[in-house]
Amino acid sequence: MAKKTRPSRCSKPSTRHFVTIKKGKIILRLDKKEADLLRPYFERELERAVNVFEKKYELVLDRPVQLEVYPNHEDFAVRTMGLPGLGALGVTFGNVVAMDSPSGRKPGTFHWASTLWHELSHVYALAATKHRVPRWFTEGLAVHEETAVDPEWGDRLDPGAIRAMKDKKLLPIATLDKGFTRPSYPNQVIVKWGWQTLLAMLRDFATGAGTPAVVEKHLKIKPEEFDKEFLAWLEKSTESQVKGFEEWTKRLRAMSADVKAKNWDKVIPEAEALGKIYPDYVEAGSPYEILADAHLEKKNTAGAIAALNGYAKAGGRYPATLKKLAKLLDEAGQPEQAARALERINFIYPVQDEEMHRLQGELWLKVGNTDKAIREFQASVFSKPIDAATSYYNLARAYRAAGQLDNARDN
């Protein structure tokens, strides 16, 4: 969850400022100021999520899913709660999902596509259980779906979660709703008992059955035994990060002196070691970024690319860091990989960055992917560049390469 925003005076947001797109099983509402830019990305992900979840949850909704995207966080808060100051990124009410636009958050702090999949999974869990699913279950399931669609998505194990595990503050499954904290229980159910068991649990929740009864029926163990198994599983999967956290913190601080002294021969092995202890840490000043900079200082481009690839695969979200990776890959003669590095930014912060879309369009055109080149050059145009003529010319080039001569002439 994001930090809570400061309450401010604001009235109910006007629907006059929104564009509504109705297409098959989806309704998408975007602010007019950014609708042209965001529509291709949001429309594709929303349709993709609906198609995946229909099969996965064995459920076809009785009406379209409506997604509302707000560029002003306080408008989103008023729309969902009636008051400003809501700290959430997205909220689900039946078949309606409201969420922040990427433009409503700082670059690198918000993965809008991950949030979309998270919230849409609530729609299906609520429908499958007639709105009777326990909050811990649907929220844990939604967290699972964030990385099920792409391992790079979803929130990582942060220092706060590590401290909770070290201090044994995780709540037992039978009382989890009393002190809810984005649990990982459904992941353990899927890993050991399989997806069909999880669906069966959803069906029983639909009858009004409680957590202890559902756990005993489908997992064949008492809730207390499940807690023991879960904690053992969690400790094993996070062992190096939890046990090594204090040491990692001290060594990361100590390494800053070597970075300041430009002692790269000491920085490189230390950054590599710290990355192995706590691989989920991708915030500013992460060992991945320090390692990449050290390799660049030593003229080792391949080492820098490897470090930044590690950052991206671990879920790193800062556009500037992903752009650095793309630049190095392009210079190394890997244009398709460079394009994919920039494409990650589309799911994080595709706004206010005409240059990123233009460079991505050039890379896709270079490797012959005209569909994506057209998409990105269109995004360049919709980003309102200073040199609009060049943006339209680039779009015409992409249309021509795709054999769409009429569209090429129009641009």
Q: Render 45-89 in DSSP notation, one character per residue.
A: HHHHHHHHHHHHTT---SS-EEEEEESSHHHHHHHHHSSS----S
Top-level CATH class of 343-411? Answer: mainly alpha
Residue 348's CB is within 10 A of a number of other CB atoms, namely: 22
User: 3-class DSSP state for residue 144?
Assistant: helix
- Asked if the 244-316 domain carries CATH number 1.25.40, the reply is yes
Q: Is the dihedral of CA 343, 345, 351, 352 positive or negative?
A: negative
Task: Tell me how far apart the 2 most distant CA atoms of the chain are, in Å.
Answer: 69
Q: Closest Cα to residue 312, out of 278, 353, 340, 331? A: 340
Give the C-alpha separation, 293 to 275, whole Å.
14
Residues 79/69, Cβ–Cβ less than 8 Å: no
Q: What is the pLDDT of residue 173?
A: 57
- For the CA atoms of the chain, what is the radius of gyration? 23
Decide if 1-128 and 244-316 have a common fold: no
Instruction: List the domain boundaries for the chain.
Output: 1-128, 156-238, 244-316, 343-411
Beta-carbon-side half-sphere exposure of residue 406 (alpha carbons within 13 Å) = 0
115 φ, ψ to 5°?
A: -65, -40
pTM over 0.75, yes/no: yes
Per-residue confidence (pLDDT) for residue 224, from 0 to 100: 84
pLDDT of residue 271: 98
* pLDDT tens readout for residues 338-353: 999 999 999 999 999 9
CATH 3.30.2010.30 fits domain 1-128: yes
Residue 334 zone, left/alpha/beta (φ > 0; ψ -120 to 50; rest): beta
The closest alpha carbon to 175, from 108, 103, 233, 226, belongs to 226
Length of the chain, in residues: 411
The residue among 7, 37, 18 whose CA lies nearest residue 102 is 37
pLDDT tens string, the chain, 411 residues long: the values are 333 333 334 445 556 789 999 999 999 999 999 999 999 999 999 999 999 999 999 999 999 999 999 997 555 455 555 444 445 677 888 999 999 999 999 999 999 999 999 999 999 999 999 999 988 888 889 989 999 999 999 888 888 888 877 776 665 655 554 443 445 556 777 878 899 999 999 999 999 999 889 989 998 988 888 878 877 877 888 888 889 999 999 999 999 999 999 999 999 999 999 999 999 999 989 999 999 999 999 999 999 999 999 999 999 999 999 999 999 999 999 999 999 999 999 999 999 999 999 999 999 999 999 999 999 999 999 999 999 999 999 999 999 999 998 887 777
pLDDT value of position 357: 98
